[in-house]
Amino acid sequence: MVTYAERPWIENYDVGMPTALEFPEVPLHQFLKDTSARIPQNTALITPAALPVIGRVSKNFTYAELDRASDALAAALVDLGLKKSDRVAIVMPNSVAFVISFYAILKAGGVVAATNPTYPADKMAHQINDCDAEFVLTMTLFYDLVKQVQPRTKVQTVIVANVKEYLPPLAKFLFTIAREKKDGHFLAKLESGDHWFQDLLREYDGKRAAVAVGPDDLAIFQYTGGTTGVPKAAMSKHRALVANMLQAEGILDLLDTSSEDEIFLGGIPFFHVYGLVVVVSTSVYRGCKIVLVPNPRDIDDVLGNIETFRTTLFPGVPALYNAINNHPRVKSGEVDLSSLHLCLSGSAPLPPATKEEFERLSGGSVLEGFGMSEAPTATHVNPIYKENRPGSIGLPLPEMDMRIVSLEDGESDVPVGEVGELVMAGPNVMVGYHGMLEETQNVLREKDGKRWLYTGDIARMDEDGYFYIVDRKKDMALIGGFNVYPTTVEKAISAHPAVLEVGVAAIPHPERTGQEALKAWIVLKQDQDATAEDIIAFLEDKLAQYEIPRRIAFIAELPKTAVGKTLRRELVQLEAEAGG
């Protein structure tokens, strides 16, 4: 019988996939310097814009420009008082300014704490305050929101960019006269102590931060959430990000194309490690191009960018692949997806039908994988050329160890093929959760000289080393590719004056096969009344849009355990019995 310690997955690696790796003792931003020195005038980032009549235009940003701009901003941050290991919040969508900010913070010795720019005030305040950030890098569109939450945080300085700064010239001109004020991007002046992004780049142009940064320095805080729904900052060092980028790099090295001819579709949010590692870091290391997509829910824009720029690499999520499959222009055959030769799918289970249809439409391969914020970010992926098993998250990446342990004792390995909790060890595992010692000790445990990360996912491994996620120990929902924690939603709904009790859970989406929808079951207070519309309106300024349940039922009583805990599985069962 095969064992986990034998790493049986290695036998099923594609030919040429490294089975062992050595990792350089350098910080992550060293690869930007190396690529800039090697191919300074090659395009790193492409900012597209769709214009009426004219069509899609773009502006390129080279590796030399990215390296020089991030050097300047790093010098500015240090001069403004940033100290080594200080956290810096980035509140931006995918953009040139985001990527400059990311590398600048690292070069200055800071720690990147990127946040979702669409968060409502309370969620943003919590995250910025929790990471102790004194600096925020943001866009004009979000400046008012950042200033609104600033008094509840330790933030001293806000640095502000405008989305138009890296637009193509004609698009920039048209945006300024037609959309900047109307869409909320115009900002006449900043409050005292804050700075314009471009002013700092000009003032510090040609300068560098005199800060020694090594592989054991912290690089990122990636926020996740626990069983209670309380966000946790997973702290990872430069060496973890370097290791994971090189682990994933082995897959792309198997492709026939030159790395400099590869074009990433940059739709995965960069405020998450999926985007930061798989797209940004990997592309910069390889010298690829990234087409920047600030809003991947705009499927027309996504399709336009694929067609115009002939993108070749597409890291995505099942919901996005499914949306493309079902887009009228795609279904009619009008859109050409044939440039996409390799697509990666993560963050949620990939329905086989979605995978098959997208591969039929594009002619490329869709590889399902798996990753975690606590092991930023990829840990498993299916092979490109060998068997790509539907329903499997694939094979562990090089230098990873995996076990499936008993759900009862959390220690003993279960026989291969049986279900248990997935635990992993490897060079990309986080240091721990910021300020949460108990939670860290719960998920990071020493055994046989290795630090094992307990994932909280129920899984199994087959005899060939392919892994399968069976269920979640946690009640986390995946809505549109984002993690949603029912407890957080319940707390927000419970604040409504008419609500007595509430239970929230994910149900199969009634209209979108393979996706989840969020539903709330509410018990109203006696003699109180509320409609679903009332509840949704109440939540608008308390939760992100994807966190707000659009399906609400009013019931007399919630199913509970003997100790009063709501049984979400029974709520989901009620939904199934009712036929959705």
Task: Look at residues 261, 287, 313 and tell me which one is the last residue of a structural domain.
Answer: 287
pLDDT score recorded for residue 482: 82
CATH number at residue 505: 3.30.300.30
Q: Which own/partner pairs from 187-191 qualify as long-range (CB within 8 Å, at least 24 positions apart)? A: 187/140, 187/143, 187/160, 187/162, 190/143, 190/158, 190/160, 191/147, 191/158
Evaluate whether residue 378 is within a structural domain. Answer: no
**Rounded to whole angstroms, what are the CA distances from 560 to 229, 434, 565?**
19, 33, 5
Burial of 255: CB neighbours in 10 Å, binned 0-12, 13-18, 19+: middle
Burial of 431: CB neighbours in 10 Å, binned 0-12, 13-18, 19+: middle
Evaluate whether residue 482 is within a structural domain. Answer: yes
pLDDT score recorded for residue 317: 86
Evaluate whether residue 129 is within a structural domain. Answer: yes
| Concatenated DSSP letters of 83-149 | -TT-EEEEE--SSHHHHHHHHHHHHTT-EEEE--TT--HHHHHHHHHHTT-SEEEEEHHHHHHHHHH
- Which ranges of the chain have pLDDT less than 50? 225-229, 562-564
pLDDT score recorded for residue 495: 85
Evaluate whether residue 402 is within a structural domain. Answer: no
CATH number at residue 105: 3.40.50.980
**Rounded Cα gap, residues 282 and 17, in angstroms:** 16
Nearest CA-CA partner of 212 in 320, 116, 104, 84: 84
pLDDT score recorded for residue 226: 40
347-360 pLDDT per residue, tens: 877 877 789 999 99
Task: Look at residues 287, 316, 347 and tell me which one is the last residue of a structural domain.
Answer: 287
**Rounded Cα gap, residues 319 and 332, in angstroms:** 20
- Expressed as residue numbers, the domain containing 205 is 30-47+63-287
235-287 pLDDT per residue, tens: 999 999 999 999 999 899 999 888 999 999 999 999 989 999 999 999 999 99
Number of domains in the chain: 2
pLDDT score recorded for residue 559: 87
129-170 pLDDT per residue, tens: 999 999 999 999 999 999 999 999 999 999 999 999 999 999
Evaluate whether residue 381 is within a structural domain. Answer: no
Please give the model's pTM, rounded to 2 decimal places. 0.84
Evaluate whether residue 326 is within a structural domain. Answer: no
Task: Look at residues 287, 309, 340 and tell me which one is the last residue of a structural domain.
Answer: 287
Evaluate whether residue 10 is within a structural domain. Answer: no
Evaluate whether residue 52 is within a structural domain. Answer: no
